[in-house]
Amino acid sequence: MTLSKTILITGSTDGIGLETAKLLAAKGHSVILHGRNPEKLAAAQQTLAAIAGSEPVEAYAADLSRMRDVEAFAEDIKQKHDHIDVLINNAGILKTPQTETPDGLDVRFAVNTIAPFILTRKLLPLMGPDSRVVNVSSAAQAPVDLRALAGQVQLSDMDAYSQSKLALTKWSRHLAQELGKDGPVIVAVNPGSLLASKMVQQGFGIAGNDIGIGADILACAALSDEFDDAGGLYYDNDAGRFGPPHPHALDAQKAAELVRAIEGIVGG
């Protein structure tokens, strides 16, 4: 019998996040939900409780575009748990009417890049070499303008999204290499292009492909032996294999510069 793992999934009130949560709960794992909207979070909690049976389902509301919320969210998790087996940084955003956060950042960089960086760093004390951090990347990756990362330059929706996803992929590799065998496996995963998520429907006006494609690979990244030695790697689910991300993600100097820029924004 597989031992139950404690798995935190951000952005798990709908889309790929919720489908992944349902898959993992059905396998008997303890899934911690996160969302920004309390009503949607309560509905997701009810859905998962029906799958988990007698197991209580934890849920946390936090706005990941607000850095203070991210830090408070991490502290709440640390107060309740002494170990996290898997962190899936799934929450993401492409289009929004309000592109600037209260911290003066572009919301795409805040949610897609900086929030998962903060959350991962804050929760590292709860994760050992057998833990995993699964960062949801994208096939859309573009060279990062550090001025845009800092909120000093405005970009189009797609440019901001693509840059934020490459930035996520870059720091995933950097942090995995920095921590080495002492830290959790940190892997970036493109769950599949144009899946039927709210983001794709709003951003591109299409129904999208079966969202189960993305949920299956995220569950696999969380649990499968195939990802035991995947630290610092990139999994491209469009190709169905590990493969090269954007070349800038493989450039150690560029990745280090990015991490220093993020640390400058979040204060170390």
Q: Which residues are the active-site residues?
A: 161
d(CA 264, CA 175): 16
Say how far apart CA 176 and CA 219 lie, in whole Å. 20
**Structure token digits, residue 107:** 């919301």
Q: List phi, psi (to 5°) of 40.
A: -65, -35
Q: Which residue is it, tokens 């169905």?
A: 240
Q: Is 216 left (phi over 0), alpha (psi -120 to 50) or beta?
A: alpha
Token representation of residue 202? 């709003």
Residue 201's identity, in one-letter code, is Q
CA pair distance 236, 188, nearest whole angstrom:
9
